[in-house]
Amino acid sequence: MRRTRHIEQHFTHRIGWLRAAVLGANDGIVSTASLVVGVAAAESGRSAIVLAGLAGLVAGAMSMAAGEYVSVSSQADTEKADLARERKELAESPEAELRELQQIYVDRGLDPELALRVARQLSARDTLAAHAREELGITETQAANPIQAAVTSAATFSVGAALPLIVTVFAPASAVIALVAAASLICLAVLGALAAGAGGASRTRGALRVTFWSALALAVTALVGHFFGTAM
């Protein structure tokens, strides 16, 4: 009798780059579009609008890269410190660490004898990896990667920010606000759906969530630009 292999598709290996990519692209579109709409609502000329958007793109990309690098580096440092501490404990108190791993499996529903067998077998293969996974929640697929996060965020921010800038350059002066807002919201909805789908979540919910908050940001920025532009 031929056996059929059961294949499951999981998405946790995408968490590291997916979070940075979605955050970068979403922030690039929203922040630059809001900046363009706000400056345009203040009845500024096209050159001032484009300049403001371009400055926002460069500053935002660098800020995203720096922020992601610092944030993820801090996470990576914490993980390294925890692993070093765990490695030391394994060297000094191997039996106590084995019992600790056994208790983790007991708490998950295994009887003590089976839990001890499992702990010993996993420890025989890679003791540190077993303890890192079960005690610290650190796995190879989810380990922090500062360079990857920084580059991904900066690149996706730049791509996202380029959209409202391109629309601003080619749109009629009288329709800049409407076209930038519409194009940005459509792209954000698509981005939200794609990101949700890549993570195995509902595409509709992802699209609606991103669109709502982005529309709110655009509306608030347009009002600020309008009122402050009139006052000045």
Is residue 55 included in any domain, yes or no?
Answer: yes
Residue 37 structural domain = 15-231
Mean pLDDT of all residues in 164-185: 92
Domain membership of residue 7 (yes or no) is: no
In this prediction, what percent of the chain has a pLDDT beyond 90?
29
pLDDT score, position 66: 92
Half-sphere exposure of 14 (CA within 13 A, CB side): 13
Instruction: Identify the pLDDT of residue 9.
Output: 47
Give the per-residue pLDDT at 131.
Answer: 83
Q: Does 152 have pLDDT greater than 90? A: no
In a domain, 44, yes or no: yes
Is 37 within 8 Å of 216 (Cβ atoms)? no
Domains of the chain: total: 1
Mean pLDDT of the region 1-18: 49
Q: Which of 12-21, 116-125, 199-208 has the highest mean pLDDT?
A: 116-125
Does the predicted model carry a pTM greater than 0.85?
no
pLDDT in tens, 18-62: 666 777 888 899 999 999 999 998 877 889 999 999 999 999 999
Residue 116 domain-assigned (yes or no): yes
Nearest to 192 by CA among 179, 183, 201, 182: 201
The answer to the question of residue 185 being in a domain is yes
In a domain, 8, yes or no: no
The answer to whether residue 24 sits within a structural domain is yes
Residue 174 pLDDT level (bands cut at 50, 70, 90): confident
Is 216 contained in some domain? yes
